[in-house]
Chain A
Amino acid sequence: KNEVEQSPQNLTAQEGEFITINCSYSVGISALHWLQQHPGGGIVSLFMLSSGKKKHGRLIATINIQEKHSSLHITASHPRDSAVYICAVPIIQGAQKLVFGQGTRLTINP
């Protein structure tokens, strides 16, 4: 069983739509990362959260530690939001290595 599962795997939407990407994990964690991978391959960290909700511009991330579930929301989506969004969970084994979801490929059409 995968330790980190994301849904959907692919998402296509029109500009302006509200986007939700989900992440479920099976391991106990202290925090969860949401990352953005651009078409060129580079990774940017969007959020690290351990409880509740965080907001940065049009991006909102929520986490429910008891249910082992997190969501990433994008309001008023724009074509420049097109990217792969990855959820990653640190495994608490001393060095805190990250285990990654398979990513959600988001395409926003104008």
Chain B
Amino acid sequence: EPEVTQTPSHQVTQMGQEVILRCVPISNHLYFYWYRQILGQKVEFLVSFYNNEISEKSEIFDDQFSVERPDGSNFTLKIRSTKLEDSAMYFCASSEATRRETQYFGPGTRLLVL
């Protein structure tokens, strides 16, 4: 069964460093999403992406964040200058164009900013 994959599974970085989190969505899906979950808190929407542009973003998704689909398979989330409060689990999801309400989640990347 096709699945969303994410790399790395864990990343530790120093405050102020740039990180890139990678996702490979399901191949025929056209909508892509990033969510995050700070330890002990709810999962929160960050951004959705369609047709090579952001279609919606939350107030969390400020100028420090960017998303990109650099090739036909990867979907990346970049944090330019990490802060301690960026430590969280980051989930990628994808959905078909005609069934956007059904999202498939990746296993997550646990980011720790020191």
Contact = CB atoms under 8 A, between A and B. Distances in A.
B108 interface: yes
B101 A90 contact: yes
- Residues of B contacting A: mostly: strand
Q: Which of A93, A96, A101 neighbours the largest number of chain B CB atoms within 10 Å of its CB?
A: A96
Interface stretch (A18-26, A29-37, A54-62): A29-37
B42 A96 contact: no
A43 interface: yes
B25 to A, nearest CB: 14
Interface in B63-114: 89, 91, 93, 95, 100-105, 107-108, 110
Contacts of B55: 94-95
B56 interface: yes
Measured as residues with beta carbon below 8 angstroms from the partner, the interface class of chain B is 20 to 34
Given A94-B55, A96-B95, A96-B101, A41 B43 contact: no
A73 B16 CA distance: 45
B75 to A, nearest CB: 14
B93 to A, nearest CB: 8
B102 A44 contact: no
A11 B35 CA distance: 26
A45 B4 CA distance: 12
A97 B45 contact: yes
A48 interface: yes
Interface of A: 30-31, 33, 35, 41-45, 48, 50, 86, 88, 90, 93-103
Given A96-B48, A98-B103, 14 more contacts: A31-B102, A41-B37, A44-B105, A48-B101, A88-B43, A94-B55, A95-B31, A95-B48, A95-B100, A96-B31, A98-B35, A100-B43, A101-B42, A102-B42
11 contacts: A30-B101, A88-B43, A93-B56, A95-B33, A97-B33, A97-B45, A97-B56, A98-B33, A98-B35, A100-B44, A102-B42
